[in-house]
Amino acid sequence: MPNKNISRARFINNKLLGRKRDVEEKTCIEEDIREIRPLTMQLSTETTQDRQEVVEVCEDLYHLLKHEDIHLLKEFHRMYLDYSFTNNLPPQLKALDASQPWLLYWIGNSLRLMNPKWLSKNYQQGISEKLLNASVNGGPFCGGLGQLPHLICNYAAVTALALCDNYDDCWSKINVHGIYQWLLALKMPNGGFKTCLEVGECDTRGTYCALSVAAMLNILTPELCTGVEEFLIKCQTYEGGFGGCPQEDEAHGGYTYCAVASLAILGRLEVINVGSLMEWCSARQFNEERGFSGRSNKLVDGCYSYWVGGTAAILEAYGYGECIDKPMLRDYILKCCQTKERPGLRDKPGKSPDFYHTNYVMLGLSITEHNFKVQGSVNSIKCAPIKESAEIVPINPVFGLPSEDLEKFVRFYSH
């Protein structure tokens, strides 16, 4: 028996472990190339056809608008946002009944990003009263009246309140201690956070929503952070971006942003493979469409201007350099995500504008207009305009809020 094993090992060693690799590689490569080239040229799938259509419509727009100096149509978009705060929302938005804090954050943030004064005292009153009425005792916050506290909605509610400039002392009404105890109870043995006490998924979104709220409310304790870094490290995939869960999903812009922003909050960006992350971010940007896709072989979408652009801005802020083309992204945003026909910003040509895309495309626009540099703490990221006239106010790319609002909110809880 031992003899048989030795001869088997010798066989593997001689035939399979590279002795003849040089010779084989030379013959294989040429044959492979001959076989692969026509394959890639002929491969036409639903995915490649969809992309071709998007490329054509974007290229038409770039051609049509090539001599125009396009700007963000701020007053036009303001009308869309104002209308939503002063009228009933259309019936199809019933589907977002469990995401009411999100609507308040998206709409409120979009107004404030264009002009801080456009989120009037009246609106700040409406936002804070609605949130504090829906969730008893000032949090943890839920998606709407009578619903269970939810980690993702809690993040949206806290960021929406951060936009309210402490209207009627609403910041004192946030139940910081209750939120802290609840966050601890959501912690999972693998270092992640589940979204609800009763039942809920666990992925990098939850980590970001827990950590960013904790950082803003000054409750980011070592106990809350135990095991979080290890959880996040395991979410980076061979592609360089991050999936939602350890060793499970493909890399995706949204989950990548959540992981990278969380690591920035922990002050631990250096524990991941930043080089492959930067290559992945860079590979998300298409030459033809000029905007980003969220994952390999998927279509361009305006919201990734923030999920991927924000990730790049965080890396830039921490001194890793730039890995995206900001002027190209700006073109996609202003020429393909905006039209003169309908206010609000959209995913891509052919899609309708919505509040989610309006907010994240505007945040992406801010990224194209600024350079980022951290100043001591994650709460204080300096945002220097690239040209003298920026259309969007400076933002903190870790929190998705105007820098001024974030800094004032954090200062409130710092003592």
Ligand X SMILES: CC(C)=CCC/C(C)=C/CC/C(C)=C/COP(=O)(O)OP(=O)(O)O
Using CB under 5 A, list all residues that contact Zn ion. 301, 303, 347
Please identify which of the residues 196, 347, 356, 383 carries the catalytic annotation.
347
**Element holding 401 (H helix, E strand):** strand 401-402
Does residue 174 sit in helix, strand or coil?
Answer: coil
- Partner whose footprint covers residue 347, from Zn ion, ligand X, none (CB < 5 to 8 Å by kind): Zn ion
- Partner whose footprint covers residue 182, from ligand X, Zn ion, none (CB < 5 to 8 Å by kind): none
- By beta-carbon proximity to Zn ion, the closer residue of 165 and 347 is 347
* CB 106 to ligand X: min, Å: 11
d(CA 371, CA 373): 7
- Partner whose footprint covers residue 294, from Zn ion, ligand X, none (CB < 5 to 8 Å by kind): ligand X
Any catalytic annotation for residue 354?
yes
- Partner whose footprint covers residue 205, from ligand X, Zn ion, none (CB < 5 to 8 Å by kind): ligand X
Using the rule CB under 6 A, is 316 a contact of ligand X?
no
d(CA 135, CA 149): 8
Q: Phi and psi for 241 in degrees, rounded to 5?
A: -80, -175
Q: Which residues contact 47 (CB under 8 A, 6 or more apart)?
A: 297, 298
Closest by CA to 252, choosing from 239, 264, 261, is: 239
d(CA 392, CA 73): 11
- Partner whose footprint covers residue 152, from ligand X, Zn ion, none (CB < 5 to 8 Å by kind): ligand X
Using the rule CB under 6 A, is 232 a contact of ligand X?
no
The span of 6-14, 75-83, 253-261, 262-270 binding ligand X (CB under 6 A) equals: 253-261
The span of 10-18, 231-239, 252-260, 318-326 binding ligand X (CB under 6 A) equals: 252-260
Residues 107, 164 contacting (CB under 8 angstroms): no
> Strand 401-402 to strand 377-385: parallel, antiparallel, or no bridges (unpaired)?
unpaired
Please identify which of the residues 354, 373, 382, 413 carries the catalytic annotation.
354
- Partner whose footprint covers residue 394, from ligand X, Zn ion, none (CB < 5 to 8 Å by kind): none
110 by Cβ neighbours in 10 Å (0-12 / 13-18 / 19+) ranks as buried
Closest by CA to 327, choosing from 365, 272, 271, is: 365
- By beta-carbon proximity to ligand X, the closer residue of 295 and 326 is 295
Any catalytic annotation for residue 303?
yes
d(CA 167, CA 131): 13
- By beta-carbon proximity to ligand X, the closer residue of 152 and 312 is 152
127, 152, 153, 235: residue in contact with ligand X (rule CB under 6 A): 152
* CB 155 to ligand X: min, Å: 6
Specify which residues 374 forms β-bridges with.
Answer: 381
* CB 146 to ligand X: min, Å: 22
- Number of residues engaging ligand X in binding (CB under 6 A): 13
Any catalytic annotation for residue 357?
yes
- Partner whose footprint covers residue 258, from ligand X, Zn ion, none (CB < 5 to 8 Å by kind): ligand X
Using the rule CB under 6 A, is 196 a contact of ligand X?
no
Please identify which of the residues 130, 252, 290, 335 carries the catalytic annotation.
252
Any catalytic annotation for residue 97?
no
Any catalytic annotation for residue 82?
no
The upper half-sphere exposure of residue 76, i.e. CA atoms within 13 Å in the direction of its Cβ, equals: 13
- Partner whose footprint covers residue 254, from ligand X, Zn ion, none (CB < 5 to 8 Å by kind): ligand X
d(CA 394, CA 390): 9
Q: What is the DSSP string of 355-399?
A: HHHHHHHHHHHHHHHEEEEEESEEEEEEEEESSS--SS--EETTT
Residue nearest to Zn ion (CB): 303
Please identify which of the residues 357, 370, 383, 405 carries the catalytic annotation.
357
Residues 214, 224 contacting (CB under 8 angstroms): yes
d(CA 310, CA 260): 9
Residues 336-375 that bind ligand X (CB under 6 A): none
Residues 283-302 that bind ligand X (CB under 6 A): 294-295, 298, 301
- By beta-carbon proximity to Zn ion, the closer residue of 88 and 92 is 92
Using the rule CB under 6 A, is 208 a contact of ligand X?
yes
Using the rule CB under 6 A, is 150 a contact of ligand X?
no
Any catalytic annotation for residue 347?
yes
92 by Cβ neighbours in 10 Å (0-12 / 13-18 / 19+) ranks as exposed
Closest by CA to 192, choosing from 155, 156, 230, 150, is: 230
Mind telling me the catalytic residues?
Answer: 252, 295, 298, 301, 303-304, 347, 354, 357
List residues near ligand X by CB under 6 A.
Answer: 152, 205, 208-209, 254-255, 258, 294-295, 298, 301, 303, 307
